[in-house]
Amino acid sequence: MDFGYDARTQELREQLTAFMDEFVYPAEAVFEQQLSEQDDPWSPPPVLEDLKKEARKRGLWNFFLPGEHGAGLTNLQYAPLAEITGRSPHLAPAALNCAAPDTGNMEVLAMFGNEQQRKQWLEPLLDGEIRSAFAMTEPDVASSDARNIATRIERDGSDYVINGSKWFISGAMNPRCQIFIVMGKTDPSGEPHRQQSMILVPRDTPGMDIKRGMHVFGYTDGDHGGHAEIEFTDVRVPAENLIGEEGGGFAVAQARLGPGRIHHCMRLIGMAERAIELMCKRTVSRTAFGKPIAQQGVVQDWIAESRVRVEQLRLLVLKTAWLMDTVGNQGAHTEIQAIKIATPLSVEWIIDKAIQAHGAGGVSQDTPLAGLWAHARTLRLADGPDEVHKRSMARRELAKHLS
């Protein structure tokens, strides 16, 4: 077993670290400033487009996508790079065209889209010209159980007609978000896992009303293009907009979520590393009760415990990436669920300790910690709540012991 990074990964890590130092970290303050000054709080400020140009010029682009359409990296090669981008999650993933939900949507189009759909939507997404959204969750039903999704997608001649409500649709508040992958029922009386389909809906299709942006712990999440509530009323799109086959929506959703979950976990590890770094720097430089705060046993316990947790998480994430490369996403199912349960919870704990070690400054706008914490906390809900993953893992574990 070799725990080292291969030569290509090492080379890209160095290039990416240089890009982060030279461009991304200095842009963080500019980003906050621009966001506070612009009229639209829901969209990324212009500094992001500058970063995208620079990243692309340096070949730091589309690392997330294995195969012919992406940069040709394996998941194992991408993991340490995604970790580095996680150190500045508001800017770096999007600067490299590796941000959710576009990554998952590009994967869907690459895997299930037909030639026309790939040309019309995948190509501009790969070029970073447009953004996209994935619309599954609904305000009126418990959406952690995808069988509940109630939006109707009904065939009418050569079109499909969509009616329903969605919310927390990431990216949708950003006018650059031009295409929506919408999940809904084409056959409500069919077998439970064959009722749903996925369909492409271009922005501004008549009947599509982007009602409001949802706040997340008070943040607009403008870096992600916000999270929108959307009403679909008799939204009509051509039948060719269906992705894959009718009734195949559940399978597409499953295929989409595997890589998305591991990407979140990779970035969370970078967020944890940044939090540990900030915690150490702050506590060695501030004195209370006659000695640096870093000399307090309880603080050393937080620091040591944080390091232990990050090392454990990274190993499991790398093993999962390696399994995805070698036995496929389905073969890595258990590990994908394990990291999705373990990583947000543990990283949330680490960031919480870094906040505590900073005192009041930790919850302020003067460090990235409050934003990192809010982001980590949401990842215990987004892409499936912890409890749902645990339920499924426990059932598979128990099945081994049922005769």
Which residue from 124, 292, 361, 385 is in contact with ligand FAD, where contact means CB under 6 A? 385
Which stretches within 87-143 are classed as H helix? 92-95, 102-112, 115-117, 123-126
Minimum Å gap between C-beta 95 and ligand FAD is 20
Kindly state whether residue 382 participates in binding ligand FAD, applying the rule CB under 6 A. yes
Q: Which helix or strand (DSSP H or E) is residue 212 part of?
A: strand 208-213
Tally of CA atoms within 13 A in the half-sphere of 206 that contains its CB: 3
Minimum Å gap between C-beta 168 and ligand FAD is 4
What does the block give as tokens for 160?
A: 């499909």
Kindly state whether residue 198 participates in binding ligand FAD, applying the rule CB under 6 A. no
Q: Which stretch binds ligand FAD (CB under 6 A): 81-89, 262-270, 275-283, 384-392?
A: 384-392
Number of residues that bind ligand FAD (CB under 6 A): 22
Q: Which stretch binds ligand FAD (CB under 6 A): 43-51, 116-124, 274-282, 382-390?
A: 382-390
Beta carbon nearer to ligand FAD, 307 or 390:
390
Nearest to 125, CA basis, from 150, 143, 154, 105: 105
User: Residue 189 carries which DSSP code?
Assistant: T
CA distance 35 to 27: 12
Q: Which helix or strand (DSSP H or E) is residue 161 part of?
A: strand 159-170
CA distance 124 to 111: 16
As a dihedral over the C-alpha atoms of residue 120, residue 126, residue 130, residue 133, rounded to 10 degrees, the angle is 90
Kindly state whether residue 197 participates in binding ligand FAD, applying the rule CB under 6 A. no
Tally of CA atoms within 13 A in the half-sphere of 19 that contains its CB: 28
What does the block give as tokens for 67?
A: 């195969």
Beta carbon nearer to ligand FAD, 220 or 378:
378
Q: By the 8 A CB rule, do 347 and 311 touch?
A: no
Residues 6+ away with beta carbon under 8 Å from 255: 107, 108, 111, 112, 329
Beta carbon nearer to ligand FAD, 77 or 170:
170
User: Residue 216 carries which DSSP code?
Assistant: B
Site string for ligand FAD, 117-156 (x = CB under 6 A): -----------------xxxx----xxx------------
Minimum Å gap between C-beta 258 and ligand FAD is 15
Minimum Å gap between C-beta 300 and ligand FAD is 33
Minimum Å gap between C-beta 61 and ligand FAD is 23
Which residue from 14, 129, 156, 387 is in contact with ligand FAD, where contact means CB under 6 A? 387
Site string for ligand FAD, 207-246 (x = CB under 6 A): ---------x----------x-------------------
What does the block give as tokens for 138?
A: 């609904």
Beta carbon nearer to ligand FAD, 111 or 150:
150
- Enumerate binding residues for ligand FAD (CB under 6 A): 101, 134-137, 142-144, 168-170, 216, 227, 378, 381-385, 387-388, 391
